[in-house]
Amino acid sequence: MVDKVSIWEALGFRKASGVGEAGWGYTLIVAIVSFIYFIPVLMIIFMAIKPQDVALSVPPTLSPTSLFGLIPDAYVFSPTLENFTSVFSRSMTAGGAPEDTGFDRYFFNSIVIATVSVMLALVIGTLAAFGFSRYPLKGNDTYLFIILTTRMLPAIVVIIPVILMFRVAGLSGSYIGIILLYTAFNLAFTIWMMKSFFDELSLDVEDAARIDGSSEIKVFFKICLPQVVAGLAATFVFGLILTWNEFLFALLLSGTDTRTVPVAMNQAVSSGGRGTDWTLLAAIETLFLIPVFLVTFFLQNHLLRGVTFGTVKR
């Protein structure tokens, strides 16, 4: 018996389930709906490669190519990479020499802050979740509920005490401050997610490991953790997306050195008194998309398994 492995499967794409492939009709409907979903992203990417002068032209230019004459010339723009260079370096005053915008720094900040805080939350949260799942306290659910209360209020409400605390502790504007804050916020989510994954595991397997001589530490690292890799990946990606896009806390609590991209983006397009520079904004957004896009893409197999974990009885 030879299993046929298509090139897509070999590349790590999900294998179609055995129920039967959809016909062309359904596939087409899904393709159209997906495309509609994707239009805003596509518009941003096109905007990022448009020359500045046609950004707001009426009628709008729709495509960088004429698709072999399919699209009339009036709707076609000639693509350029100029906007991307001006993300990192552009003249700040009319006719002035190009200056460094500091965006390389902001991208670095965003990557470091998001990655470190999500990883920290993952490490602490996974250990905590295992504790909550396997060694329940008296009134276990109460503690879990309290943990979640930080996510029940809108961020704008929580921000006031947080700013006060940061000012007293002298954490405002520092990397440690913003990383700790994001870690705390991701923790709630991580603990709840990971607890549900641990709850699904068979306790017999852990008992078997104990009888076979594993210490509790080994039971956790060698037996439990490998079984929740999908859950770790899913939690990591969701946490990363939430943190990556976070604006409000970053705006109020980061300093000039620790500014993240969403904050810098806001300032880049609204300063200078020349109105909104749409192509610049689109270029920043496009660059901003890439890291999350890559992470999600490489973890998507785990992601799908992680999200549907436990919904089907195996």
Binding region for other proteins (CB under 8 A): 202, 204-205, 207-215, 222-223, 226-227
For residue 226, the minimal CB distance to other proteins (Å) is: 3
For residue 229, the minimal CB distance to other proteins (Å) is: 8
Tell me how far apart the alpha carbons of residues 313 and 112 are, in angstroms, rounded to a whole number.
39
For residue 213, the minimal CB distance to other proteins (Å) is: 4
**C-beta of residue 83 within 8 angstroms of C-beta of residue 119:** no
By beta-carbon proximity to other proteins, the closer residue of 9 and 207 is 207
For residue 21, the minimal CB distance to other proteins (Å) is: 24
Tell me how far apart the alpha carbons of residues 14 and 12 are, in angstroms, rounded to a whole number.
6
By beta-carbon proximity to other proteins, the closer residue of 189 and 220 is 220
CA separation, residue 12 to residues 5, 174, 296, 299, 303 (Å): 11, 40, 13, 10, 13
By beta-carbon proximity to other proteins, the closer residue of 30 and 229 is 229
Both tokens of residue 265? 């983006």
Instruction: Of 42, 54, 199, 35, give the one whose Cα is nearest residue 130.
Output: 199
The residue to which tokens 């076979």 are assigned: 212
For residue 220, the minimal CB distance to other proteins (Å) is: 13
By beta-carbon proximity to other proteins, the closer residue of 209 and 299 is 209
By beta-carbon proximity to other proteins, the closer residue of 91 and 215 is 215
**C-beta of residue 302 within 8 angstroms of C-beta of residue 233:** yes
Chain center to CA of 116: 13
**Which residues does residue 63 pair with via DSSP β-bridges, in sequence order?**
76
